[in-house]
Amino acid sequence: MISRVETLLVDVPAIRPHRLSVATVNVQTLVLVHLVCDDGVEGWGEATTIGGLSYGEESPESIKVNIDRWMAPLLVGHDASQVARLMARLNRAVRGNHFAKCALETALMDAQARRLNIPLSELLGGRLHDELSVAWTLASGDTEKDITEAQSMLALRRHRIFKLKIGSRRPEEDVAHVLAVQRELGDSVSIRVDVNQAWSEYEAERSIALLEAGGIEAVEQPIDAANRAGLARLAQRFTIAIMADEALKSPLDALDLARGAAADVFSVKISPPGGLTAARRMADIAVLSGIALYGGTMLEGSVGTAASAHLFSTFPKLSFGSELFGPLLLTEDILREPLVYRDFMLQVPQGAGLGIAVDEEKVAALCRR
């Protein structure tokens, strides 16, 4: 039985400002869920978002309040091994709150996989990959800084896929910035851009044409997520890959985008659809529809990153790699042994459950009072 569900807000500074079109991250708030069962088994989950309410409908504070007040009481006293039934109970009683539900489902699955002494990936269909290629996001907005940062990552053999965050300046300035980085780094790396919905369709048409001519590999969510017809027009007009991100919040979104041929790539994340199970359904729709997959991130810390890695390891193919660099963006790690990044890849944890050990003393030191 579940004896306790605890929600923690953990504030961790970033190694440098991380600029998006919607927010700049200087400190990331990790929302951690710690689930304790009366048989001694524990589970961890994470519900981290970006920029308070600037990215989505849930903030760290609302996630904590809603779990503590409304969701945890629906779980305490119930059989922790019945993950699907407990999530169905939550979904009947609580609308929305997908990030919060993701953290709870992850904690339940972590506990159950630990109880069975198997990796969490085996509860999700079985692992096909033991390591995942990882992109690094360049988000300073300064061309020389981004070039220097990318070159250092190459020298460390940590990343050779780079995604540039753009959209906060005039499109022509952003395009010039991206193409300058591409020219300096050359053809041995993959360059993508993420606009985070900042462009109009007209701006996107002009800018994507230039990016395509410059050898950029993909453009992530160039226009408003609600403009699916516009996204389809862009996907059908250009050979450069158009990636859906903010437009992809549920399996129904995935089905609608696939039917409308509105994206070449799906950026699959575990939190926006409400957890690992729903994210798996989105990936299945992509595979059945011939749409490529990319493993996305909400800039989670090590718990959410490990959960994502377990899921992504079960995908047949991640043609565009993954973006699971979140822990590397933070000045502190909350694990006793950090996740392993080497030779441009993240090693998927091998142990039972998430395969990680949370350093509870470090969490307590960083926890918001």
Residue 254 half-sphere exposure toward CB, CA atoms < 13 A: 26
- Which entry of 46, 246, 300, 323 is annotated as an active-site residue? 323
How far is the C-alpha of 145 from the C-alpha of 318, rounded, in Å? 29
What type of residue sits at position 239? Answer: T
Backbone angles phi, psi at 338, to 5 degrees: -60, 160
**Where are the alpha helices (H) located in the chain, listed in sequence order?**
60-66, 72-75, 83-93, 98-116, 143-155, 171-185, 201-213, 228-237, 251-259, 276-289, 302-312, 360-366
CA 293 from chain centre, in angstroms, equals 13
- Which entry of 101, 165, 249, 269 is annotated as an active-site residue? 165
- Catalytic status, residue 249: no
- Catalytic status, residue 323: yes
Token readout for 258 is 């696939």
Residue 113 has a CB neighbour count (10 Å cut-off) of 25
One DSSP character per residue, 67-129 reads: IIIIIHHHHTTS-TT-HHHHHHHHHHH--S-HHHHHHHHHHHHHHHHHHHTSBGGGGGT--S-
Which sequence positions are flagged as catalytic?
165, 323
